[in-house]
Every structure is written in C-alpha cells, then in structure tokens.
Amino acid sequence: MILQAVIDIAEICARKGVQDVVLSPGSRCAPLTLAFARHPELRVRTVPDERSAAFIGLGIAQKTKRPVVLVCTSGTAAYNYAPAVAEAFYQNIPLLVLTADRPPEWIDQLDGQTIRQSRIYGGHVKRSIDFPVETNHSDAQWYGVRLLNEALNEAVAFPEGPVHVNIPLREPFYPELEEEFAYSKNVKIIEELPSGYGLPEQTWAALKKELQQYRRVLVVAGQGARDEALQAAIATFCRNTGAVYITDTISNQQTAGESINYHDVFLGAKHLHSQEPLQPDLLITFHKSLISKNLKLFLRKQKGMHHWHLQPAGMVADTFQALTRIIRTSPLDFFGKVAARENLLQVAPAFTQTWHDLDRQGKLVLTQFQKNSPYSEFNACYLVLRSLPNNSLLHLANSMSVRYANLIGVAEREGVEVFANRGTSGIDGSTSTAVGSALSTDKLVTLLTGDMAFLYDRNALWHNYLPQNLRIVVLNNHGGGIFRMIEGPRSQPELRTYFETEQRQTAQKTAEDMGLTYTKVTDAASLAQALPSFFDLAAGPQLLEVETDSAGNYVVFAAYREQVAQRIKL
C-alpha cells in the first residue's frame, strides 16, 4: 500500500504552483512516480539519464521562473543530479529535488542501490530535508506536510535555489488493483508572502550624499534575465550622471549605443588596464557572474576603487577584491530611486567619453577583422550570432562558445534572450539545459556548443520530447580547442593528447538517431547558405555541424588578438 503522505507530495506541489516534473525511471521511486504521473494538473516528463534529466529540469525552471520537481530512484541515481544541482545553486534557480531512498536501517548493509543519500549535495542546496519514514501517526503526517511546504517555500524565497528532500520508502511500491489512489483535498498549504526588500529614507539620503563625491562611476551588470524596467532606470541614471554602463552578453541588458558592449574586445589590449582615463573611483554591480576575464582583470587592478553591490539578500561575492558596501535592495529599486534625484552626481565627461570611444573602436576592430579573416570557428560564430532570428533564445555552452559570443555580442539583435550555465561553468549539461528551455517556449531556441560539450551531453536528446523549436550549432574542431588558445597548455608537447584530447567523431549519427535534421558545413559560403533554412521555425529540430581545424582556429584568434593590441588606442 502506498502511503497517503507520499501521494500527497504531488498534491502539495501542484497546489503551490509547480507545473513541471522531470523524473527518471526506477523501482524505489515508483510511489513518487505514480503520484506525480497520475496528477491531472502536473506536466510530467520521463528522461532516463538522471544527469540530463536534472539539467532539462534546470532549463525549464530557468525559462519559466517557476520551481521544477526532479524525481529519481535510490543510489547513484541521486549523485547524477549533482552537477545540475550545483549549477542551480549558483544561478539561483528553484528546483525541488526528491530522491527515493532505502529506509535508514538498510544503509551500509550491502543492499542494492543503497548509499548515504542524506545531505548528499552538501553545501550546494539551500536546505536538505529527510522525510519521515513512518507516517501512520497524525503527528508524523503533519510533519511530512509541513516539511514539503517548507521545502517549496525555501526553493522560491530570495535568493532562489535547489532544495533536497530525501524520501525513504518501504515496499510495497505499487498499489494493488483494488487499492484506492486519491489525493487529499484538505491537505494543508503554508504560504509565505515575499518581503518587499527596501531601504529606509535616511539610508537613501546618506547614499545620495556619498554618491556626490564620486566622479568616475562604472555600473556593471552580471548574468541575469532581461528586465526592461531596470534597463530604462539605468539608462536614465547614466544619462543624468554620465556614469558608464558595462554589460556582458549573458546580462541580457545590452543596448546598442547606450551600454558598453565591446569591453571584452578593447580590454584585450592589456596596456589600457593601467591607463588613468579609464580608472573608476566607484563600481556599482548587480546580478551574478561575468564572462569577460578581461573585464575582471581590469577591475581587480583598480586598487583605489570603491565597490557597491546591489542584492536584496543572500551571500555576496567579492569577485574584484574591492567590495566596500553591500546594499540590500533590488537593482530596480536602487536605480529607480537614484535616477529620479536631480543633481545627484556628475561624472567627469572625459571618463564617459573615453569608455564610449573605446567601445566604438572595439566594435570597429571586430567588424573589420571578421570581414577579412579566413574561415574559422570565430568567423563562424560571428556569422551565426549575426543571423539569429529576432525574439528568439540563445543558449551558450561553456568553453570557447560562450567566450566567442561575449566578444561578438547580440546587441544588434532585437529581443534575443541569452542563457549559459555560468554558475559552475561546466560543459556537462549545456544541451540538456537548452532542451529544457525549448520545452518551455514557442520561440526558436538555438544552442551554440563545441564538440566536446555536445558529445559529453548526447543523452540530452535521449527521450521522447524532442522540441520542434530546437536548433543546435556544433563547432567541431575535433578536440578541446580552448587549450590551444591558452598560453600554458599550448606550449606543452602533451597538448594534443592530454589537453585537447583529439577525437575524430562527428555529430551526424547522434542527430540521425535522435531525429534532428543534420547539415555539415566546412567553409563560410556553405554556412551562410545553410543558415536561412536552419533558422526557419517551421523546419523542425535541426543540427548544424561547423567543422574547423583547431590549429587554424588558433592562428585566426592570435591574429585577432594582435589586431586588438595594435589598433585599440586612447
């Protein structure tokens, strides 16, 4: 007989706003599987590979901004969730991770599929909960209901993140034919209302007074979702004050002509890092991580700079070794109120002009280099990113794909949202995350990925839910080409065997096996010819393989770096 407390886990999730569940088959988790699969208000998908399943769930939650439930069986199945759980933790994505387990008396007794699952994700979840083994007593039933409510409330409380509930289950796992299987309509729901994070008026007055002493202000946006109201507030702040606004591609705040979008290009000229006209005296940051190593290195060299970070709650990182103030309010609240205040401060005009002039130089150098450069993956990325359909989604795999995209940017495209797993920056779930995203929207979803990341995550396509709006661009240089770009491994005799890990596979068989239309290109002309039909929304799922030579890619990228060093000037 399946315990009513287990059946009601699904009811509590549905009543608290969960819509999507991703589960992986197993026997120990059968009671949970049936509880979710039979619930009329939940959308349940089955993905056999737990690692891919977890990243697909992450992609759904990332796009929908709602918590997603993951369900797996006992043993190492739970460990396979770990990469996605860690990514969700650092990206602040709400996941409710439900792992079936053996009863505690059977742990370490050499029973099948039994490991130490309690708190298995360590410090990479907001909270770990052990569900009661026995729920026959009314107090235990109340306890179980309370724990599930607390888990979901914690997952969506700012900053959002994953919560783990480990659920020990005894046999029998399956109901008898005559057994009643019904959800409790009177199950208790505990609601937690969000707090309106804000600052008292006396604090705003103090901030206004302090801001007046700064003349060189940089505003830097980390990874985040597109927010037009925030974008408008910052634009007003910068126009009123002369502050400079820098946006990475994954910030989703790029604006042509207003924000600094090509910093990753011109800050590649390292001689600029110590130039006085560029040096800020105040840095204001918000949201999460940056891609641009050039920007991070530049900011870490500004030793006299004050750094304010805007974040309502949660841990704050001192990424640039300059953090001096944590302001516990939302970026929209801060810039909305500060922008409305007249004569707040006036940044030195030369400071603003210098940054915008360099941004124009960076765009010009990049554009002219791409026009004259030979075919390479850099050139291919430029063409793909400049061909993206408006109002579509772009997912970027880690390694070189996300770096190329940050150099090239998407500021010229209208309404393109950019996503990347930069919480942990692993290659392990890029395709799965894009699949989850595509399952959550009618817009076209394009994944730009390398061969190693794609081959590593092929099980992202091993299920019955292949999205028709999914497009995958695989940059195949037959190895980990990023290691050829880095000075250390590039100069080692072991480069090809132990760093690049040279391989001769292609994506063709995977595409054919999984039902994607496959196209391969080996030059710029064929790539340009393939892109219009590739981006046709009505054409069904497609995979475009862009084959390049790793050594040739390095030659082109080295030439690009040389152009930046020679042509970018104050």
What is the rounded distance in angstroms from the CA atom of residue 299 to the CA atom of residue 305? Answer: 9
What is the rounded distance in angstroms from the CA atom of residue 522 to the CA atom of residue 516? Answer: 19
pLDDT tens readout for residues 22-31: 999 999 999 9
What is the rounded distance in angstroms from the CA atom of residue 521 to the CA atom of residue 481? Answer: 18
Pair of tokens at residue 417: 């949202």
Cis peptide upstream of residue 103 (ω within 30 degrees of 0) = no
Model confidence at 357: pLDDT above 90: yes
Model confidence at 39: pLDDT above 90: yes
- Residue 299: pLDDT band (50, 70, 90) is very high
State the pTM of this model. 0.94
> DSSP character for 260?
B
* Share above pLDDT 70 across residues of the chain, in percent, rounded to a whole number: 98
- Residue 311: pLDDT band (50, 70, 90) is very high
- Residue 8: pLDDT band (50, 70, 90) is very high
Closest by CA to 15, choosing from 34, 42, 43, is: 42
pLDDT (average), residues 330-334: 94
Q: Which residue has the tokens 């439930």?
A: 69
pLDDT tens readout for residues 479-492: 876 777 777 777 78
pLDDT tens readout for residues 359-372: 999 999 999 999 98
Model confidence at 512: pLDDT above 80: yes
Beta strands 244-247 and 217-221: pairing type? parallel
Strand runs labelled E in 87-181: 95-101, 127-130, 162-168
pLDDT of residue 479: 81
Q: Which residues contact 376 (CB under 8 A, 6 or more apart)?
A: 548, 552, 553, 555, 556, 557
pLDDT of residue 195: 76
Closest by CA to 21, choosing from 38, 2, 4, is: 38
- Residue 445: pLDDT band (50, 70, 90) is very high
Length of the chain: 570
Residue ranges of alpha helices (H) inside 345-481 are 349-372, 377-385, 400-408, 430-438, 451-456
Rg from Cα positions in the chain: 25
What is the rounded distance in angstroms from the CA atom of residue 77 to the CA atom of residue 335? Answer: 45
pLDDT of residue 343: 54
pLDDT tens readout for residues 100-132: 999 999 999 998 889 999 999 999 999 999 999
As a whole number, the mean pLDDT across the chain is: 93
Model confidence at 471: pLDDT above 90: yes
What is the rounded distance in angstroms from the CA atom of residue 455 to the CA atom of residue 84? Answer: 17
Model confidence at 342: pLDDT above 70: no
Q: Which residues contact 232 (CB under 8 A, 6 or more apart)?
A: none
pLDDT of residue 418: 97
What is the rounded distance in angstroms from the CA atom of residue 458 to the CA atom of residue 322? Answer: 41
Model confidence at 92: pLDDT above 70: yes
pLDDT (average), residues 225-254: 92
pLDDT of residue 197: 67
What is the rounded distance in angstroms from the CA atom of residue 485 to the CA atom of residue 396? Answer: 19
pLDDT (average), residues 66-81: 97
pLDDT of residue 174: 82
Beta bridge partners of 393: 417, 445
- Residue 230: pLDDT band (50, 70, 90) is very high
Beta strands 393-396 and 323-327: pairing type? unpaired
Model confidence at 233: pLDDT above 70: yes
Helices 30-37 and 4-15 pack at an angle, to 10 degrees, of 40
Assess contact for 433 and 421: CB atoms under 8 A: yes
Model confidence at 223: pLDDT above 70: yes
- SS3 of the chain: helix, strand, coil, percent, to 5: 45, 15, 40
DSSP state letters, 449-507: EEHHHHHHTGGGG-SS---TTEEEEEEE-SS-THHHHSHHHHTSTTIIIIIS------S
pLDDT tens readout for residues 385-431: 999 999 999 999 998 999 999 999 997 788 999 999 999 999 999 99
Beta strands 68-72 and 95-101: pairing type? parallel
* Share above pLDDT 90 across residues of the chain, in percent, rounded to a whole number: 79
pLDDT tens readout for residues 196-205: 767 888 998 8
Helix (H) or strand (E) holding 72: strand 68-72
Cis peptide upstream of residue 94 (ω within 30 degrees of 0) = no
Q: Apex CA 105: angle with CA 100 and CA 110, to 5°?
A: 80
pLDDT of residue 392: 97
pLDDT tens readout for residues 127-184: 999 999 988 899 999 999 999 999 999 999 999 999 999 999 998 888 887 778 889 9
Beta strands 470-476 and 445-450: pairing type? parallel
Closest by CA to 149, choosing from 163, 168, 170, is: 163
pLDDT (average), residues 499-512: 89
Closest by CA to 87, choosing from 333, 423, 330, 347, is: 423
